[in-house]
Structure 1
Amino acid sequence: MNPWERYVVPNLIACACGTKPIMKQREKVVPKAEGRVLELGCGSGTNFAMYDASKVEHLYALEPSPGMLVKARREAGALGFGNHIEFLETGAEAIPLEDNSVDTAVITFVLCTIPDWRAALAETRRVLKPEGRILFSEHGLAPDESVAKWQRRIEPVWKPLAGGCHLTRDVAALFTESGFRLEEAETMYLPSTPKVAGFVSWGAARAA
């Protein structure tokens, strides 16, 4: 890992993922998590304060970046529930949990950066209980060709600067191709955000 990826990218992503429009998106889904919860790509712990402690039995916070984990552990400690979070320092392509062991998976603004999203969603499906669900909020490919055109043009430059973030992943297609059905799915362009990075989808998904 080069110095840019280790020291600069975590701070850039933490800042970008904590903007007001994105925080409002997180607030739409994270408080609904319940039972044994797995968060893919917890980053700097941005979602931690949004969990409803009365609903969450245990939180597995998965994150492959050492730099992000430093921030996440600090955030958990500041909130006073560091001992109630189990950190998994690994990628989502190989989740170190048993089959059918998770009630809720939380995926917020991380599918864009996971190198092998197919493996990650297959693993998420494996660890979810049959009645479990994914709560998600993600940005991705815009439906308007004029915006999508610029997303495709910018992405090759954007990715290395933004920690591998893809602008052109079709969020709905990722879930359906991985054997999930969408529930309560909604979309919009985020306010005060460039359209190339601001088309978001959110809702819930269950195994089909």
Structure 2
Amino acid sequence: MGLWERYAVPAIVSCACTSKPVMRQRAKVVPEATGAVLELGCGSGTNFAFYDPARITRLHAVEPAPGMVARARETARDTAIADRVQFHETGAERLSLEDASIDTAVVTFVLCTIPDWGSALREVRRVLKPGGRVLFSEHGLAPDADVARWQQRIEPVWKRLFGGCHLTRQPAAMLANSGFRVDRLETMYLPSTPRFAGFASWGAAVLS
């Protein structure tokens, strides 16, 4: 791992993922989580403050980067759910959780980066209880042809600069192709964000 990946990428990603438009997107879905919760790619714990302590019993926070886990532990200490957070320092492609043990999976601004997103979503499917939900908020491929063309041009360099982040993934389609039924979907271009990086989709999906 080079100096850029070790020091620059985490700082840039953390800044982008805590911008005001992105934080507003997180606030639209995270408070809906209930019961035993799985969060993929918790990063530095950006979502922790949005969880409703009256609604969740346990939060399984998955994050493969040791430095991010250290930051997330610090973040968790200052929240009302501090005693309910269990960290899993691993990738989302292989989870150390029992089958049908999770009520809600939270996936926010992470499907763009997970290398093997298909395996990660299969794991989410495995650990969700019957009737369990996926709450998601992501960015991805824009519906406007001119924006999409720019995304396709920029993406090869963008991935190298920003930790493997893809601009052209389609979160709702990814969920549908992984055996989920998307029963709520909203989209918009995020304000104060370049259009090539700011087409957002959010909502909820259930096991189909």
Name the TM tier (shorter chain).
over 0.9
Q: Amino acid of the residue matched to residue 95 of structure 1?
A: L
**Cα distance in 2 for residues equivalent to 1:71 and 1:14:** 11
The answer as to 2:190 corresponding to 1:206 is: no
For residue 194 of structure 2, what is the aligned residue in structure 1? 194
> Which residue identity is paired with 1:176?
A
Query: Quick one: distance in 1 between partners of 2:86 and 2:62?
Result: 8
Measure, in 2, the Cα distance between the counterparts of 1:177 and 1:85: 30
The answer to whether the 8 A contact 1:185-1:202 is kept is yes
Unaligned runs of 5+ in 1: none
1:96 aligns with 2:96: yes
Give TM-score scaled by structure 2 length: 0.97
**What's the CA shift for 1:74?**
1.1
Matched to 1:150, the amino acid is W
Bigger shift: 7-16 or 138-147?
7-16
Runs of 4+ aligned structure 1 residues displaced above 4 Å come to: none
For the 8 Å contact 1:180–1:206, the answer to whether it is kept is yes
Correspondence 1:82-93 to 2 at 5 A: 82-93=82-93
Deviations 1:129-148 (A, max 9, x none): 01100000000000111000
Whole-Å separation in 2 of the counterparts to 1:191 and 1:80? 30
Tell me the residue number matched to 2:77: 77
Structure 2 CA distance for partners of 1:80 and 1:184, relative to 1, 3 Å? closer
Shift of the alpha carbon at 1:37? 0.2
- Rounded to whole Å, the distance in 1 between the matches of 2:152 and 2:41 is 24
1:58 aligns with 2:53: no
Percent of counterpart pairs with the same letter?
Answer: 64
1:176 aligns with 2:144: no
CA distance in 1, matches of 2:177, 2:2: 34
Structure 2 stretches of 5 or more lacking a match? none
Partner Cα separation in structure 1 for residue 8 and residue 67 of structure 2: 9
The question of whether the paired residues in 1 share the 8 Å contact of 2:53 and 2:80 is answered with no
Partner of 2:167: 167
Instruction: Give the total of aligned pairs.
Output: 208
Structure 1 Cα separation of the partners of residues 67 and 144 of structure 2: 36
**Counterparts of 2:61 and 2:12 in 1: how far apart (Å)?**
20
Distance 2:103 2:3 in 1: 37
- Residue 6 of structure 1: CA displacement? 2.3
Q: Distance in 1 between matches of 2:99 and 2:6?
A: 32
Q: Which residue of 2 aligns with 1:125?
A: 125
Residue 123 to residue 54, structure 1, CA distance change in 2 (3 Å): same
Asked if 2 retains the 8 angstrom alpha-carbon contact of 1:59 and 1:85, the reply is yes
1:140/1:166 contact within 8 Å kept? yes
Aligned to 2:39: 39
TM-superposed CA distance for 1:206, in Å, is: 0.6
Does the C-alpha gap of structure 1 residues 3 and 66 become closer, same or farther in structure 2, counting only changes over 3 Å? farther
